[in-house]
Structure 1
Amino acid sequence: MMRGAFGDVPLAALFPLLTPTDVDSLSQTAGTVDAARAGRTTADWEWVLEHAAFEGTRLGTPIILGLDVVEHAEGGDQLEFLLQVVRTGPGRLAVDAAVNVACWCATDHATHDVDAMRFVVGEQTSLPGAFRAGAERLTGWLADPHDADHWRAKAGLPPKRIS
C-alpha cells in the first residue's frame, strides 16, 4: 500500500480508462474532501496498484484508492470516516463511503458501520460521478457531530462502556 497526497496518486495506472477530464474531476473532488478535513486529524490517501487488476480468486473487496480519517477520543473511543474506490469484479468498480465507530458490545466486533453507502460505477454512473457522490456524503458526515456515541445511538448500538 502506498500513501501520500492525492496529487501523488498514480490515477492513470490505477484507472487506465480515465480521460484527462475525468482525472481533473477526481482531483477537484479530492480537493473538496481535503478542505473538509482541514484542521482535523490528517490522513493520507492510500492506494494499491496490485488491486487495479481484478483477480477472481481474491477474497474480499480489493481497495484500489481510499481515505480513512480516524478521530480518537479520550478513553480509547474512535470514530472513522471512509471513502474508498473498490474493485467488485472484472471491470467493475464501486465507491464506498462509511462512518464507523469502535465496538463496545459484549462481543467485541472491533468496529461497526453506522452509516454506509455504495455508489456503483456503470453505464449510468461514471467513476468521477460516483467518487463525487461518495465525497459529498463524506464531507457531510465530517460536518456532523464528532461524538461516537451520537453515531452509536443513531445506529441503535450500545454506548461506550465507562471503566
Structure 2
Amino acid sequence: MRGSFDDVPWNMLFPPLTPADVDSLNQAARTVDAACIGRDTTDWEWFPEHATFPGPRVGTPIILGLDVIEHADGVDQLEFLLQVVWTEAGGLAVDSAVNVACWCDIDHATHDVDPIRLEIGEDSSLPEAFRTSAERLTSWLAHPHDANHWRARVGLPPR
C-alpha cells in the first residue's frame, strides 16, 4: 500500500505505539516530505502482510518505507532509502542508505553508501530511530544528486 504518511495504519503495523509516538513519527516524516517536494517518488509504502514477524528468511521484510528515486533510468541509479524492517532475530530496526548502481568489474548490481541500521531496543525507541534516520535522509537530499558523487565518497568506480 502507498500514500501519504498520514495514511499509514499505525494500529495495524505497530500496535504498541502511543499517540505521542505517532506524533513524533509524523513530525519526522514531515521533515522528509518537505525535503522531497518537487520529486515524483515521495509516497510512503507500507506492507500490512509484514506487520507480524514472518520468521527468519532471506531478505529483509520491510514494514514501512520511503524510496526517493533521483534517477533509475536503466543505465544508472541513485536512490535515498528509509525503511522500518524486521531483523533476523524478530526485532525492529530502521535502515537508511544512499543506493547507487554498481560499476565495478564484478557486477554487484547496487551498493549502499553511508548505510545505517538503528535497532529498536532498550536504548532506542522506534520514534527516536526513525527521527535519526529522517534527519540523515534530509541531509543526504541536500547533497549533489549525482550518483558518481556518492560512489566517490566510498571509493567505488564511477560510471
Normalised to the residue count of structure 1, the TM-score between the two structures is 0.91
2:29 corresponds to: 30
Task: Give % identity.
Answer: 71
Alpha-carbon distance in structure 1 between the residues aligned to 2:105 and 2:83: 29
Over the residues paired in the alignment, what is the CA RMSD in angstroms? 1.7
Normalised to the residue count of structure 2, the TM-score between the two structures is 0.93
Aligned-pair CA distance for 1:119 = 0.9
Residue 152 of structure 2 is aligned to residue 153 of structure 1: yes
Alpha-carbon distance in structure 1 between the residues aligned to 2:74 and 2:4: 30
Alpha-carbon distance in structure 2 between the residues aligned to 1:61 and 1:75: 24
Q: Which structure 1 residue ranges, 4+ long, deviate > 6 Å from structure 2?
A: none
Secondary structure of the structure 1 residue equivalent to 2:87: strand
Q: Retained in 1: the 8 A contact 2:44–2:66?
A: yes
1:111 corresponds to: 110
Q: Deviations over 1:54-80 (max 9, x none)?
A: 122432221100000011177832211
Give 1:137's aligned amino acid. Answer: R
1:98 corresponds to: 97
Unaligned runs of 5+ in 1: none
Give 2:7's aligned amino acid. Answer: D
* Matched pairs, number: 159
Query: Please, which moves more after superposition, 86-95 or 73-82?
Result: 73-82
2:85 corresponds to: 86
Aligned-pair CA distance for 1:3 = 0.9
Q: Retained in 1: the 8 A contact 2:33–2:42?
A: no
Alpha-carbon distance in structure 1 between the residues aligned to 2:57 and 2:14: 19
Q: Retained in 1: the 8 A contact 2:13–2:63?
A: yes
1:2-151 alignment runs, 5 A limit: 2-72=1-71, 76-89=75-88, 92-151=91-150
Change (3 A) 1:3 1:74: closer
Q: Retained in 2: the 8 A contact 1:54–1:89?
A: no
Unaligned runs of 5+ in 2: none
Alpha-carbon distance in structure 1 between the residues aligned to 2:30 and 2:78: 22
Query: Please, which moves more after superposition, 75-84 or 4-13?
Result: 75-84
Give 2:113's aligned amino acid. Answer: V
Q: Retained in 1: the 8 A contact 2:60–2:86?
A: yes
